[in-house]
A and B are shown apart, each in its own frame.
Chain A
């Protein structure tokens, strides 16, 4: 191939000359007396088969460049754009009304108290992470009075945010669970199938989003999960489904629970937006707690990236609710064997911040207030965008913007319309039509409304 040839030619002359001369120097010097352990005789007689690429080629010369990650690649493209009007609605990271990233006050306070504590050390955490963090995280998602926690039936390990929790859970299941199929909603976060495939599971799909109603395809969901083999794993977004923002109602959740339990399907929850969706931590955990209440088993991947703004610190937890304390103990010991060859033990800083906040009633309360403010700002952006499109008379039903919940709106725009908006209006979003509401503010919202209007009317 052209590329391969080019690669060889690009090796600069001086490089190859240098390597050749080094090689010649060594081979030529094989008779020097300093080589005491290898007799010159043996050296001359032994076969040294030089592979054709020995002096020049990398063993990785055939590696092709990977395509940009579809989500994180949006920010890369955004960064390259020189236009002052550009708007980044790609990655789901919260932005303030001024378009700036936000470090919560409560997080700053927690960090300061950690820095100022001279007795703090940075030693290795246990493989399972910070114990206090694990307990508090389980209480946060399952509820402090959860029977599963009271009965010590929950194995919780600290992991690297949501991704890490999903991967560790997936690898555990691949090693110890009898079913390899994991049913994933369509659509879902782009990284889900990759995580589970690398973990050794087999991603399958179930219908979730209905493009015609821009809501939940409940019928399709029920049909597909009824058809799944008994014992299959089912991935459920606990709240604020990513990317659609479409969640089942409480009644629908109850039906889903009954369906899963009656067919012995194993629920694997992904909770990345607890508190961020409705503004209430308890309300956003409703679906999970419903499943725990019936006494059955489940997996739960928790992330603090969004709801505490700890994105880059990679803080999360994997909890496995088991039938008995005994089983939970054994499960935890096996989770360690998954984690040790991956990264030995999890990072300390973020978990320390979370533990500091969750254990203090004052800081916890302050956090809930800041969290609600973030959620409220997003809800108000939804309303404003909807109003703006109504005012423009943009064709189509845009009520899904205010019906959907969480950080993202699945606009329903297609690839061509998205590309148009990027080209003409410097709006950056993922090609599936997903916009991050967190990136909107009163300054750039009119621009987005214009862009949508233009895309829908001209394409």
Chain B
């Protein structure tokens, strides 16, 4: 960038030197502070050059002549100028002076600002770029085994072996794989759920959790355009992006209690109560991301009760079913409580973590309706929202999910493997906390074992996190969220020591 800019600068000066010395002085007088041109943008330099060019010629002609000349020449000058700048600035682009040549001189997208890096995915990028042998990645929420390696579940490998070469790759229906949807609903709503039997659930396959939330947000915008969404503080950063791009206004409700590093239950209930009746709430079904702080069963009952009296709509984002406690039924407890209380819920399910299908984008969005007819209508409308986004969802991940959940043997294997992953994380929590206590840290680290799921909200400040990264090559998001899945018996000591050093 610098080299390019300097090149332009030298050329500009060269051209300016063609003017009479008289004008050059005038230019200096008029624009004394602008002689250092390399700090200016291309468009600013262009304006300056044109102004000077016009000024020099103006002195020779009368006012009326100048107006005429300006009218005749502006276009030509601008074109010539742009040609010079663009052909010199982008040295290699071909200027083909034949009929119908691209009249567009500069880019239509030259004004586009470089976007800020994604706060979560950007962490892994930085980690990969670090050459230090001690580096630890506790950023992205992707599971690692005790050797720090990514894992493909055995049940997934077996499912893939069964699928490959046996099936065609035809388009799925717009709503996705009905077999996969069926199995997903059984997992979320219960194997023997009456709602499934009564066909009251409108459900479509979605692009993992993100896609399910986005479909719901678009649906909300289309059918309840005056509604808003209440999002907990804090939450997964992308939640805000999703409802923003769907153009649904957002509100927040209090959730995390910084002092106790637990749930701010009274504030939570207050915010639920103060929201206008019939508001839409986003609830993390289990293993809240990023805090790992979940309401207790009793607290969920109270929340459900209050929701009922306020007629609020609960949308559950369930990205960690099975991953939190190791038992999918237990992790769905909040949803089952709400269902028992008669709520008509929405549920966004993801198989990214609990089946390790991250890159396959396998998920499901479901909305419990009053009756079958309404469910058919709602499903048809959800499909209409998917059609202009991607037509129909990808088949591969759906086949894996339905193969595993539909086969009793494979399902059993999956349940064992999920429990294995959850247990390893719970074990690491215990070890990390013990290490910190052994180091004699003055702070309380109870929250490490109180919190649940993949993440631990350490309570560290952004500055402390920066120190961890810069001094210890430990990568995590700046909100102090540690992905426990990235902690191993090999690095837990190093991690504990580093945390102790920056927090003592």
Task: Please tell me if the beta carbons of B112 and A334 are within 8 angstroms of each other in the complex.
Answer: yes
Q: Check A115 against B164 for contact (C-beta < 8 Å).
A: yes
* Neighbouring B residues of A167 by C-beta, 8 Å: 388-390
Q: Is B30 an interface residue (CB 8 A)?
A: no
* Chain A residue with the shortest CB-CB distance to B376: A65
A251 to chain B, nearest CB (A): 13
Which residues of B (135-151) have their CB < 8 Å from a CB of A? Answer: 140, 142, 150-151
Q: Which residues of B contact A66 (CB under 8 A)?
A: 377, 380-381, 383-384
The reply to whether B278 and A324 form a contact with Cβ atoms under 8 Å apart is: no
Q: Which of B20-28, B45-53, B353-361 lies at the interface with chain A?
A: B353-361
- Tell me whether A194 is interfacial, beta carbon within 8 Å: yes
- Alpha-carbon separation in the docked complex, A57 to B313 (Å): 11
Of all chain B residues, the one with the shortest Cβ separation from A324 is B90
A333 to B369 alpha-carbon distance, docked (Å): 40
* A294 close to B112 (CB less than 8 A): no
Residue on A nearest B173 in the bound complex, by CB:
A72
Contact partner of B107 (CB less than 8 A), chosen from A22, A63, A259, A297, is: A297
Tier of interface size on chain B: 35 or more
- Given A151-B93, A341-B244, A103 and B112 touching (CB < 8 A)? no
- B96 near A323 with CB under 8 A, answer no
Chain A neighbourhood of B211, CB < 8 A: 342-344
Q: Does A423 have its Cβ within 8 Å of any Cβ on chain B? A: no
* Interface pick from B251-259, B303-311, B487-495: B303-311
A7 interface residue per 8 A CB criterion: yes
Can you list, as one digit per residue, whether each of A57-91 has a CB less than 8 Å from chain B (1) or not (0)?
11111111110010010001000000000000001
A345 to B363, CA, bound (A): 13
Report the bound CA distance from A458 to B275 in whole Å: 65
Q: Are A27 and B165 in contact (CB under 8 A)?
A: no
B389 touches A342 (CB 8 A): yes
A60 adjacent to B223 (CB under 8 Å): yes
Which one of A117-125, A357-365, A408-416, A427-435 is at the interface?
A117-125
Interface string of B88-116 (1 = CB under 8 A from A): 01101111100111111011111111110
Q: Chain B contacts of A62 at CB under 8 A? A: 223
A350–B238 touching, CB < 8 Å: no
CA distance A28 to B298 in the complex (A): 17
Q: Across the interface, which residues of A come within 8 angstroms of B327, CB to CB? A: none
Query: Which residues of A sit under 8 angstroms from B310, Cβ to Cβ?
Result: 48
**Contact partners of A349 in chain B: CB under 8 A:** 359-360, 394, 396-397
CB contact under 8 A between A122 and B359, given known A101-B168, A343-B207? yes
Q: Is A399 in contact with chain B by the CB < 8 A criterion?
A: no
List CB contacts (< 8 Å) of A20-48 with chain B.
Answer: 22-23, 26-27, 34-35, 37-38, 46, 48
Query: Do B340 and A124 touch across chains, with their CB atoms under 8 A apart?
Result: no
Contact with B along A245-268 (1 / 0, CB 8 A): 000000000100111011010100
B142 contacts across to A, CB distance below 8 A: 123-124
Query: Which of B168, B242, B357, B383 is A122 in contact with, Cβ under 8 Å?
Result: B357
Residue in A54, A122, A342 whose beta carbon sits within 8 Å of that of B358 in the complex? A122
Interface string of B384-422 (1 = CB under 8 A from A): 110111111111110000000000000000000000000
9-residue interface stretch from A280-288, A311-319, A373-381: A311-319
Which residue of chain A has its CB nearest to the CB of B150?
A121
Q: Does B191 contact A (CB under 8 A)?
A: no
Measured between C-beta atoms, what is the minimum distance from A21 to chain B in Å?
A: 9
With a CB–CB cut-off of 8 A, which chain A residues contact B451?
A: none
The A334-374 residues at the B interface (CB cut-off 8 A) are 334, 336-338, 340-350
A347 touches B359 (CB 8 A): yes
Question: CA separation between A237 and B83, bound complex, in Å?
Answer: 31
What is the 8 Å Cβ interface bit string for chain A, positions 92-134, against chain B (1 contact, 0 not)? 0100000001110001100110010000111111110000000
Evaluate whether A330 and B109 lie within 8 angstroms (CB atoms) in the complex, with A63-B374, A122-B156 already known.
Answer: yes
Interchain CB contact under 8 A, A164 and B342 = no
**Minimum distance in angstroms from B213 CB to a CB of chain A:** 9
Instruction: Please give, as numbers and ranges, the residues of chain B lying within 8 Å of A161 by CB-CB distance.
Output: 390-391
**A297 touching B108, Cβ below 8 Å:** yes
Q: Quick check: A347 and B377 within 8 Å, CB to CB? A: no
In the assembled complex, the CB of B28 is this many whole angstroms from the nearest CB of chain A, namely 31
A139 lies within 8 A of chain B by Cβ: no
| With A123-B142, A347-B360 as contacts: A59 and B313 at CB distance below 8 Å | yes
Which residue of B has the minimal Cβ distance to A64?
B377
Which of B10-18, B265-273, B455-463 lies at the interface?
B265-273
- A261 is contacted by which of B102, B114, B150 (Cβ under 8 Å)? B102
Q: Quick check: B394 and A176 within 8 Å, CB to CB?
A: no
| Residues of B with C-beta under 8 A to A35 | 302
A320 CA to B356 CA, complexed, in Å:
33
Does A127 contact B383, Cβ atoms closer than 8 Å? Answer: no
Q: Does B121 count as interface, using CB distance less than 8 angstroms?
A: yes
Contact of A63 among B223, B242, B358, B391 (CB under 8 A): B223
Binding site for A on B (CB under 8 A): 1, 86, 89-90, 92-96, 99-104, 106-115, 118, 121, 140, 142, 150-152, 156, 160-161, 164-165, 168-174, 207-208, 210-211, 214, 223-224, 238, 241-242, 244-246, 265-266, 269, 273, 277-278, 298, 302, 305, 308-311, 313, 340-342, 344, 352, 356-361, 367, 369-371, 373-374, 376-378, 380-381, 383-385, 387-397
Beyond A177-B108, A297-B104, list 17 extra A-B contacts (CB 8 Å).
A11-B370, A59-B313, A69-B174, A69-B387, A72-B173, A123-B358, A160-B389, A167-B388, A167-B390, A199-B388, A231-B108, A262-B103, A311-B170, A327-B110, A334-B114, A341-B214, A343-B208
Give me the 7 closest cross-chain CB pairs, A-B, nearest first.
A258-B100, A348-B359, A312-B395, A323-B107, A296-B102, A343-B207, A341-B241
Binding site for B on A (CB under 8 A): 6-7, 10-11, 18-19, 22-23, 26-27, 34-35, 37-38, 46, 48-51, 53-66, 69, 72, 76, 91, 93, 101-103, 107-108, 111-112, 115, 120-127, 147, 151, 160-161, 163-164, 167, 176-178, 191, 194-195, 197-199, 231, 254, 257-259, 261-262, 264, 266, 294-297, 305, 309-314, 320, 322-324, 326-327, 329-331, 333-334, 336-338, 340-350
